[in-house]
Amino acid sequence: MITLEGGEVAKTLPVLRRLWKKLWQYRVDRGQVILLIGGGSILDVGGFAAATWKRGIPFISIPTTLIAQIDAALGGKVGINFRQGKNLIGTFAEAQAVWVWPDFLKTLPPRERRAGWIEALKHSLLHSETLWSQVYQTSFDAVPSVEMLRTLASVKVHIVTQDPYEKLGLRQALNLGHTLGHVWEALSHRTETPLLHGEAVAIGLVQELWLSMQRGHLNQSLWQALITKLRQEKMLLPLPPFTWRQWETILFQDKKRREGQLYLPLLTGIGKWELTPVQPSELQSAVKAYKNLFPA
């Protein structure tokens, strides 16, 4: 058994090197299976170590957080962070199986569980009015039912099976809220109060839906409903301190850039989205609009 500290601190080259050294020490071969137990970060770095050791060791994932059970453990992406970039080093590698035990969620710190509901909120926006309504009416302090977990997980599985290697653009929908969310997550890790992944994505969702609204793709009522829900759940959080130079440095390393152009999945309605080229100036406007939600 190898024990790692959870969170983004696990997704680094030194931790990955430590895992490779252990696999060497234990003489792990391709006829064995590695069991990964933990949140999304542990599954990411552990899966990447397995996928790259001897060109691929089978692994099974047992996600222990809400984000991992409905999102991170599914879809076959593994990797680590590099410098200030999120998941810049990685590959596609499917777990042999994903085993979900809902009672893990009862042991989570309340803040972790609440942050996990943000991915559920994102999934519901991509899926249907029915799922949006169900998630919207659920307290973020709650532990989801088995049926809810199954439904939320199926949203990602459905999208990923249509575009497993991001060749068709369909899988880009899952990045909703994540382009700017990853920027705030990275910037916050320079401070003494880093944001959890879900907390950063909540900020990203508000800003990216605002951009959809400004372009005339999205009804203002949906953006306002999102604001109301996040404020009610105390998940409408202030931005970490930053300069625009720092912000741009991280933004321009985003994996979704193609030939210098950044593309975002902009929501056009619940269950509807378009992969759209955006300019940094538009995203800056979205950031400024978000800051106006926090009057001095």
Catalytic residue among 182, 185, 208, 229: 182
156 is catalytic: yes
127 is catalytic: no
Residue 2 lies inside a defined structural domain of this protein = no
Work out the pLDDT band at 254, boundaries 50, 70, 90: confident
Statement to judge: residues 138 and 127 lie in one domain: yes
Flag whether pLDDT at 256 surpasses 80.
no
Statement to judge: residues 229 and 123 lie in one domain: yes
Catalytic residue among 11, 113, 114, 171: 171
Catalytic residue among 8, 119, 199, 208: 119
Compare 88 and 126 and report the one with higher pLDDT. Answer: 126
Please provide residue 90's backbone torsions phi and psi, each rounded to the nearest 5 degrees. -175, -175
Compare 258 and 271 and report the one with higher pLDDT. Answer: 271
Residue 3 lies inside a defined structural domain of this protein = no
Alpha helices per DSSP H over 85-196: 110-127, 129-136, 146-162, 178-188
Quick one: pLDDT at residue 84?
Answer: 77
> What is the β-pairing status of strands 257-258 and 272-278?
unpaired
Statement to judge: residues 85 and 28 lie in one domain: yes
77 is catalytic: yes
Statement to judge: residues 259 and 122 lie in one domain: yes
Residue 98 lies inside a defined structural domain of this protein = yes
Statement to judge: residues 148 and 261 lie in one domain: yes
CA dist 217 and 269 (Å) reads 8
pLDDT (tens digit per residue) in 49-62? 999 999 999 999 99
147 is catalytic: no
215 is catalytic: no
Domain, as residue range, for 249: 109-291
Structurally, the chain folds into a number of domains equal to 2
Element containing residue 198 per DSSP (H, E): helix 197-214
Quick one: pLDDT at residue 117?
Answer: 98
Average pLDDT over residues 112-124: 97
Statement to judge: residues 47 and 121 lie in one domain: no
166 is catalytic: yes
**Both tokens of residue 197?**
């992944």
Statement to judge: residues 152 and 268 lie in one domain: yes
pLDDT (tens digit per residue) in 206-249? 999 999 999 999 999 999 999 999 999 999 999 999 999 999 99
Flag whether pLDDT at 296 surpasses 70.
no
Residue 296 lies inside a defined structural domain of this protein = no
Residue 1 lies inside a defined structural domain of this protein = no
Quick one: pLDDT at residue 31?
Answer: 92
Which CATH number belongs to the domain containing residue 118 in this structure?
1.20.1090.10
Q: Which of 85, 106, 127 is the last residue of a domain?
A: 106
259 is catalytic: no
30 is catalytic: no
